[in-house]
A and B are shown apart, each in its own frame.
Chain A
Amino acid sequence: MKVQSAMFYFPEEVIEHIFSFLTHHPDRNTVSTVCKAWYKIERLSRREVFVGNCYAIRPDRAAARFPGLRSLTLKGKPHFADFDLVPPDWGGLAGPWIEAMARSCPNLEELRMKRMVVSDESLELLVHAFPNFKALVLVSCEGFSTDGLAAVARSCKSLRELDLQENEIEDRGPRWLNSFPDMCTSLVSLNFACLKGEVNLKSLERLVCRSPNLKCLRLNRAVPVETLAKIMNQCPNLEDLGTGSLLADQFSEAYVSLISALQKCKKLRCLSGFWDASPLCLLAVYPICANLTGLNLSYAPTVQGQDFINLIQHCVKLLRLWVLDSVGDKGLAVVASACKELQELRVFPSDLFAAGPATVTEEGLVAISTGCPKLNSLLYFCHSMTNSALITVSKNCPNFTRFRLCILEPRKPDPATNEPLDEGFGAVVKTCKNLRRFSISGLLTDQVFYYIGKYAKALEMLSIAFAGDTDQGMTYVLNGCKNLRKLEIRDCPFGDGALLADVTKYETMRSLWMSSCDISLRGCKALATKMPSLNVEIINEWEAEMEENLNNGVAEVISNNNNKHINNGNDERKVEKLYVYRTVGGPRTDAPDFVWTL
């Protein structure tokens, strides 16, 4: 009682000022639940909202609650959509969100979206509805074309950031670059590396000339060395550069120009691109390597062997390195000796179909862990791994927050002992107390899940494939990992028993994905019945359904009426793909035919 009356003496402005020090979203969510007054103050003063699952809440409701919103982050499709496991037209539409924001949140300045479907029309609406719009970041999105980009360029007067990462963009020609206003732009960051088509080089050069604030520029493969050199001469203050195609003849004018231009860029910290890089062009990069903190060579299969070693040995301040496995254990050994500050390493596979010798092995990983004790984030594709290597790695690097190991062949055991990799991965969770993200592979039994459930208390996201023996495996994880937010499972023998082991757990998580497991329709229905606050969605491909109906002699027309299919008798049917998520928005209204909400 005393506390409550004391609070009445504080004017709202003071409370709002106090809240402005709370930047962490969970904290703001918490204060909003204290009382009605705080809820109101918090919602009116909220400037940033993060929606991890766009179907967890209706767009209208989110927009209405936070009218002062300036920055919105949205995520759509489940993570496994990156690997073609989610059919096209599944959903994740940005349109309803942009429309809702247009109605209720006129001050929107930033929109970040991941795995969503955005149309050109939505982009048009975006730039016309929000006069202060400044930053658009699209990651792994699709549904739009270069016409949409033209609309953004043309109409967004104070655009600072246009960041396109790994999107599927329909190429309707290079004219979008002409669409930026003729006077000076306020561009700070421009990334169009994922565009597949041609680019109007003259327009690009002119754009760079009239963008004095440019700090980050990532070009696509269509930009040649000649243009890069001209651009670099215009932007000596560039901090982040994604090159275009780095193919250059011996000592051409372009090459000489590039060398002198690069040498002037004293502030350059981050490099990427390197398409078709010739060894000659790499020489041009050496003078700036000593200051680099980020280097992405993962699209540069030509940079390997001695070329890679010559380059990387200069990069003594490197924090983040992305490479292909063609650099080999030898290349990784040089990284280990040169890059003592390394925090994040990603090693991607360079040739998925070659039956050639493995290019990185457990030795490379062990060398890295020995030389780079500050390593906290790892993504490593390899052909095999041993328990002893993993145990050594975790001893050397106890600070992992993200650990993803992908052994290319499913269910492959430790080649030295022929045993499963339970002990190796178990060592990682035992030693790395701050582990938040974990992906495991190779031959794994329920034992590894026992370890994960027991030790991985900080774990938030777990990805499992081709692992486990019985329902007990998944149950260990659900029972043990208190902070689990996302669980994605494919091709594991987990059935209804595991699915229903702890149904209230799913309310504490963002989502669960299970595909090619052993769950049945009956189990999924049971889950849906017990937990009305979850959306339990089943993805079933259309052709298979039609085929089954024809085989059964049932000549009914496939319609969007879910009940007909769900209740036509056989609940023992195995469910191919299941996606479960908590929501306050009720069942999806935009679900396509092949998504059934139970």
Chain B
Amino acid sequence: MEGKSSYGGNMEYLKATELKLGPPGTDILQEATSGVSTRPKKRAVTGPTEQHTKSKVQVVGWPPVRPQRMNSFRARRNETVDESGGVYVKVSMDGAPYLRNIDLKILHGYKELRTILEGMFKCSSLGGAEGYDEEGYAITYEDKDGDLMLVGDVPWEMFVSSCKRLRIMKGSEARGLS
């Protein structure tokens, strides 16, 4: 991944790294969702990558498992606190072929977080405190409740205790969060 100069628009990597249900390499789910959801009544999704956005969105209510069970899976999946007390969270970036792990405990604030992430993923711009520019990215995270949140809203300590994983989203997709 070092040496990759651009992350936007490389379709193969997009497909390889996008979130989906089922083992990687299967495209059937993508067909399933995009085939069904071309109705005018669907909530509008902005951005040029509409097709990919739809296929990244999990199929609502599938698999048919009650929310109580879903939540207990999430809780287990993210309980990766190591013995030394570090808080390691996975960091994914849209378009990147593999994820990274960082220890939030050793950082002191959002600015340092941004610097570290920029170094890890060698992106040109991760945007300013208020958001991001057209070509840039937004840093988001999944909190204890499983919700996707924009990084920077809560005090740093609160963020460290509630952050379960980080995701660097492309600017066009992340617009909806602001």
Find residues 14-72 in chain B having any chain A CB closer than 8 Å to their own CB.
19, 21-24, 26, 28-29, 31-32, 36-37, 39-44, 59-70, 72
B77 at the interface (CB under 8 A from A): yes
A166/B73 contact (C-beta < 8 A), A548-B40, A548-B41 known = no
Per-residue B-contact encoding for A266-281, CB less than 8 Å = 1, 0 else: 0000000000000000
Residues in A whose Cβ lies below 8 Å from that of B76: 301, 351
User: In the complex, what residues of A have CB within 8 A of residue B24's CB?
Assistant: 355
A218 shortest CB reach to chain B, Å: 14
A545 & B64 in contact (Cβ 8 Å cutoff): no
Q: Which chain B residues lie closer than 8 Å to A198 at the CB level? A: none
Could you say which of A206-214, A309-317, A395-403, A405-413 contacts chain B?
A405-413
Evaluate contact between A82 and B43: CB separation under 8 angstroms.
no
Residue numbers in A under 8 Å from B61 (CB-CB): 80, 83-85, 490
Chain B residues with a Cβ closer than 8 Å to the other chain, count: 34
- Nearest Cβ on chain B to A261's Cβ, whole angstroms: 26
Q: A205 near B: Cβ within 8 Å? A: no
CB distance from B136 to the nearest CB of A (A): 27
CB-contact partner of A383 in B19, B23, B73, under 8 A: B23
**Inside 8 A of A358's CB, which chain B residues have their CB?**
23
Which B residues are in CB contact (< 8 Å) with A350?
73
Is A491 in contact with chain B by the CB < 8 A criterion? yes
Question: Looking at B37, B64, B65, which has the most chain A CB atoms within 10 Å of its CB?
Answer: B64
A574:B21 contact, CB within 8 angstroms: no
User: In the complex, which of the residues B28, B40, B42, B65 contacts A352, with contact meaning CB atoms closer than 8 Å?
Assistant: B65
Smallest distance from the beta carbon of B67 to chain A beta carbons, Å?
A: 7
* B42 and A84 contacting across the interface, CB-CB below 8 Å: no
Residues on B with C-beta less than 8 A from A543 are 43
Give the residues from 502 to 546 in chain A that come closer than 8 angstroms, CB to CB, to chain B. Answer: 516, 540-541, 543-545
- A285-314 vs B, CB cutoff 8 Å, 1 = contact: the mask equals 000000000000011010000000000000
Q: Let me know if A194 is at the binding interface, CB within 8 A.
A: yes
A-B pairs with beta carbons under 8 A, tally: 100
A352 and B41: CB pair below 8 A? no
Closest residue to A358 on the B side, CB-wise? B23
Q: Are B60 and A85 in contact (CB under 8 A)?
A: yes
Residues of A in contact (CB 8 Å), total 45
Residues from chain A with Cβ under 8 Å of B66 in the complex: 82-83, 140, 166
Fill in one digit per residue for A403-442: 1 if any B CB lies within 8 Å of its CB, else 0: 0001011111000000000000000000000000001000
Contact indicator A381/B63 (Cβ below 8 Å):
yes
Which residue of A80, A85, A352, A573 contacts B21 across the interface (Cβ within 8 Å)? A352
The answer on a CB contact under 8 Å between B69 and A409 is no
Is the beta-carbon distance between A409 and B26 smaller than 8 angstroms?
Answer: yes
Residues of A within 8 A of B40 (CB): 548, 573
Chain A's closest residue to B23 (CB) is A355
Residues on B with beta carbons closer than 8 Å to the beta carbon of A299: 69, 72
Q: Chain A: interface secondary structure?
A: loop
Residues of A within 8 A of B39 (CB): 574, 576
- Name A379's closest neighbour in chain B (CB-CB): B64
Please tell me if the beta carbons of A412 and B28 are within 8 angstroms of each other in the complex.
yes
> Is A348 part of the binding interface, using a Cβ–Cβ cutoff of 8 Å?
yes
Asked whether A544 lies within 8 Å of B73 as measured between CB atoms, the reply is no
Q: Select A409's contact among B19, B21, B44, beta carbons within 8 Å.
A: B21
A406–B65 Cα distance when bound, in Å, is 10
Q: Are B28 and A410 in contact (CB under 8 A)?
A: yes
Chain A residue with Cβ nearest B26: A409
* Given known A350-B73, A543-B43, A574-B39, contact A409–B22 (CB-CB < 8 A): yes
Question: B residues within 8 A CB of A408?
Answer: 21-22, 63
| B32 closest partner in A (C-beta) | A410
A55 interfacial contact with B, CB 8 Å: no
* Cα(A83)–Cα(B39), bound, Å: 21
Q: Does A406 contact B63, Cβ atoms closer than 8 Å?
A: yes
B77–A351 touching, CB < 8 Å: yes
Q: A108 to B17: give the CA distance in the assembly, Å.
A: 57
Q: Render A458-478 as a binary contact track against B, CB cut-off 8 A, 1 for contact.
A: 000001011000000000000
Instruction: Tell me whether B41 and A540 are in contact (CB under 8 A).
Output: yes
Asked if A411 and B32 make an inter-chain contact with CB atoms under 8 angstroms apart, the answer reads yes
Contact A410 B59 (CB under 8 A): yes
Let me know if A576 and B41 touch, CB within 8 A: yes
CA distance A348 to B65 in the complex (A): 8
Specify which chain B residues have a CB less than 8 angstroms from the CB of A480 in the assembled complex: none
CB distance from A443 to the nearest CB of B (A): 9
Q: Is the CB of B42 within 8 A of A544?
A: yes
| B28–A409 CB distance below 8 A | yes
A585 within 8 A of B: no
Q: Which chain A residues lie closer than 8 Å to B72 at the CB level?
A: 299, 301
| A353 interface residue (CB < 8 Å to B) | yes
CB-based closest 10 A-B pairs: A83-B61, A409-B22, A544-B41, A85-B61, A410-B32, A355-B24, A83-B64, A84-B61, A301-B76, A82-B66
- Residues of B at under 8 Å CB distance from A? 19, 21-24, 26, 28-29, 31-32, 36-37, 39-44, 59-70, 72-73, 76-77
The chain A residues found within 8 Å of chain B, CB to CB, are 80, 82-85, 140, 166, 194, 298-299, 301, 348-355, 358, 381, 383, 406, 408-412, 439, 463, 465-466, 490-491, 516, 540-541, 543-545, 547-548, 573-574, 576
Known: A348-B69, A410-B28, A491-B32. 18 other contacts (CB 8 A): A83-B61, A83-B65, A140-B66, A299-B69, A353-B21, A383-B22, A383-B23, A406-B64, A409-B21, A409-B22, A409-B29, A411-B31, A412-B28, A465-B62, A490-B61, A516-B37, A540-B41, A576-B39
> Can you list 6 contacts pairing A with B, beta carbon distance less than 8 Å?
A80-B64, A84-B61, A166-B66, A349-B73, A353-B73, A381-B65
